[in-house]
Amino acid sequence: MKHLPKINLFYWALIISANTLGETAGDLISQTFSLGYGGGTLALIVLFLVALLISIYSENQKSLLYWTVITLASTAGTTISDYFTRTLFRDNFGYTEQQGYLFGTILLIFALGLTFIIWKTYSKSNTVESGLNKITEFLYWIAILTSSTLGTAFGDLLAHDTPLGFSGGTLLLSALLALVVGLVYLTKISREFLYWTAIILTHPIGATMGDYLTKPEGMNLGNIKASLVLVVVFIIVIAIGQLTKKRQTD
């Protein structure tokens, strides 16, 4: 039975950092490296599945491996979402890009709900708090990948289909995430439910933050510079977390 890394402030800081990096890295692979959304999606899904299988069949939960799979899921989620909204719905089905964001978001909500139904049908006892066996760990990572894809589609929906834009979308989602944090400390609502609510919210936060860093409407750093900056931020957050853990142990 495996348990997730300790869920604390640094965990969520790493989740948001990984999701933001996933957004810029996904665009880097599909756009800057010219693989396209289809080619980028195929390459990243293969990498994600390889890392997922290594994680599932490893005897213990390894922190580096866990965060590698999280980052790959976020990066793959970016290209999968862009493929659905911009290639499948727009180019193949003739919908507008804005309609693609909406349809993609709705489709992915159903896909995520189906994943949780399968999980609870198979096992009600294996949770992120109690621990995961091989089957529920696989479903956990599928839920992470699906919520990452949903987050990108929903983030694009907020940024492009509403007056909020990239910065306004990020502020709204951050406020909702802060509300979830408050519910953790002030209510007895299921921690499992609040965990997945927070996970779902952090993905569009990362997506909108990533777009704000790369796009002309934001800081216009471009995919390469933004990805390099976020890799440094990711490493710094990990280093701070490890130093804090060491001090607490001492």
Confidence tier at 165 by pLDDT (50, 70, 90) = confident
CA 148 to chain centre: 3
Range of weakest confidence among 6-10, 36-40, 68-72, 244-248: 244-248
What is the pLDDT at residue 249?
63
What is the pLDDT at residue 250?
58
Please give the structure tokens belonging to residue 86. Answer: 């911009």
More confident residue, 22 or 142: 142
**Average pLDDT taken over every residue of the chain:** 86
Confidence tier at 248 by pLDDT (50, 70, 90) = low
Task: Note every long-range contact of 187-194, with CB atoms under 8 Å and residues 24 or more positions apart, other chains counting.
Answer: 191/129, 192/127, 192/128, 192/129
Q: Between the CA of residue 43 and those of 80, 88, 117, 154, 230, what are the distances in Å?
A: 11, 18, 28, 23, 21
The CA-CA-CA angle for residues 156, 145, 52, to 5°, reads 150
Could you report the per-residue pLDDT of 37-95, keeping only the tens digit for each? 889 999 999 999 999 999 999 888 788 889 999 999 999 998 998 888 888 877 777 78
Neighbours of 15 (CB within 10 A): 21
What are the structural domain ranges in the chain?
9-249
CA 90 to chain centre: 23
More confident residue, 243 or 121: 121
Could you report the per-residue pLDDT of 168-194, keeping only the tens digit for each? 877 888 899 999 989 988 998 988 889
Range of weakest confidence among 68-72, 123-127, 144-148, 175-179: 123-127
Residue (of 22, 237, 5, 43) closest to 145 by Cα position: 22
Find out whether 159 and 166 touch, Cβ atoms under 8 Å: yes
**Does pLDDT of 246 surpass 70?**
no
CA distance 142 to 116: 10
What does the pLDDT average to over 210-235?
Answer: 82
**Does pLDDT of 230 surpass 90?**
no
More confident residue, 96 or 115: 115
Calculate what percentage of the chain has a pLDDT beyond 70: 97
